[in-house]
Structure 1
């Protein structure tokens, strides 16, 4: 077995056990592929270049993206400084999009539109409604998966769902 295959199997195994323990999957930086752990040198240049500070050093020293305080502006500065060629800005930035769950205040008839205000891509909007607060709508085709809506949601009512998969729950 080659070193790359062995490293990929170890990474897959870690992801499996993270999921089984109820923890969210590791989210990698934009424009990166599944082989990030084989190609990344762990230099932290991408982390240092990120103006939003959403890139953090994760397990094994590899970059992860976390949307606890902010979203990714997709500025591309991480890709520009990477000497290892981990980033490919020709590919889709993220393989996920935002999805609402039942903790959404607007769905509980409480006026809240913080996710819409944070969404630079205008993927979240609240069509007007008579006699009740407007209900949110997420256009998954317009959503870039940047996580800005996750960072501002007061009830963690938004999850990131991989394209073609069901929601996994909780802040990711």
Structure 2
């Protein structure tokens, strides 16, 4: 992590926080290139040095599929970055949602909060499971009629589809500031 900066979910190629923050000129091309509008500017609350740099926001119903559908898995945000602040290794593989292959570009890992997850209240909710194209969320039978989800960390690439699909804030009775499943950034 970059000293004094909160860890954020960064777009593909933005895992090196110091490189991203120092190289980003805040041109907003990555926001415009994102076909799902999942890239937003970081706010001052996220850290002064990284303010207005690109971060992923999965709470708006959007996620990152690494532009698989639009550009064969070559992230458009990386392609339009004029300073290479978003930069992928020369050889990399991205996830393929059609085959469930995760790839080696990891944005983060999903975490489920059992206190706010609707499935843990035996509602039968499985929206995160249904949204995951990588097999990173599985259901475990706890002996009742409603299986509960859990994250298979080594299959999760942090695409955010599960978080975007989570209904806990709109359908839950527990007050929380974040959804029951959230993608946490990879710690350096």
Aligned to 1:20: none
Q: Does residue 64 of the first structure (1) align with residue 55 of the second (2)? A: yes
Distance across 2 between alignment mates of 1:85 and 1:163: 20
Distance across 1 between alignment mates of 2:22 and 2:124: 46
- RMSD, matched Cα: 2.5
State whether residues 136 and 155 of structure 2, in contact with CA within 8 Å, keep that contact through their aligned partners in structure 1: yes
Q: How many residues align?
A: 147
Deviations along 1:78-119, one digit per CA (max 9) or x if unpaired, are 111112112232375345201111211212211011001111
State whether residues 107 and 159 of structure 2, in contact with CA within 8 Å, keep that contact through their aligned partners in structure 1: no
Given candidates 149, 153, 177, the residue that maps to 1:140 is 153
Aligned to 1:104: 117
- Aligned pairs for 1:15-164 within 5 A: 15=6, 25-32=7-14, 33-34=16-17, 35-59=19-43, 60-68=51-59, 69-75=61-67, 76-90=75-89, 92-94=104-106, 96-102=108-114, 103-127=116-140, 131-155=144-168, 156-162=179-185
State whether residues 52 and 73 of structure 1, in contact with CA within 8 Å, keep that contact through their aligned partners in structure 2: no
Structure 1: 5+ residue runs without aligned partners? 1-7, 16-24, 166-172
Structure 2: 5+ residue runs without aligned partners? 44-50, 68-74, 93-103, 169-178
- What is the CA-CA distance between 1:55 and the residue it aligns to? 0.5
TM-score (ref. length: structure 1): 0.74
TM-score (ref. length: structure 2): 0.68
Classify the secondary structure of the residue corresponding to 2:32.
helix
